[in-house]
Amino acid sequence: MRLASWIYGSRPVTGADNCLERSLVLYRYLSQANSDARLVLGFRSGKHAVEGHAWVAVGDRSMAADTDERGAFAPLVSFGRDGRIVERAGHGG
């Protein structure tokens, strides 16, 4: 998963650091490679507001951090390789 490492690898934290943009790029390439790629959108309670995050998962493996010292993100929705919703929180698909 060199592509995932390159896309999600360490970089300076700036206002332009966008997990959705990075995840969309990785999702596109992995989906075209016939993998079981899913684009996942999740949320968690933050100190002052709800925080959102996007990441890519292949099977049960996340290609980027979906948790940190502030805790895990609860997946709200995920999209399969064809762009269709495969899971919704509370719906299972």
Q: Is the pLDDT of residue 11 over 60?
A: no
For residue range 28-85, list pLDDT tens digits in order: 999 988 778 999 999 999 888 999 999 999 988 888 777 777 788 999 999 998 899 9
- Token pair in block for residue 52: 């959102």
Q: Rounded to an integer, what distance in angstroms lies between the CA atom of residue 40 and that of residue 56? A: 6
* Residue spans per domain, the chain: 2-88
Strand partners, 50: 45
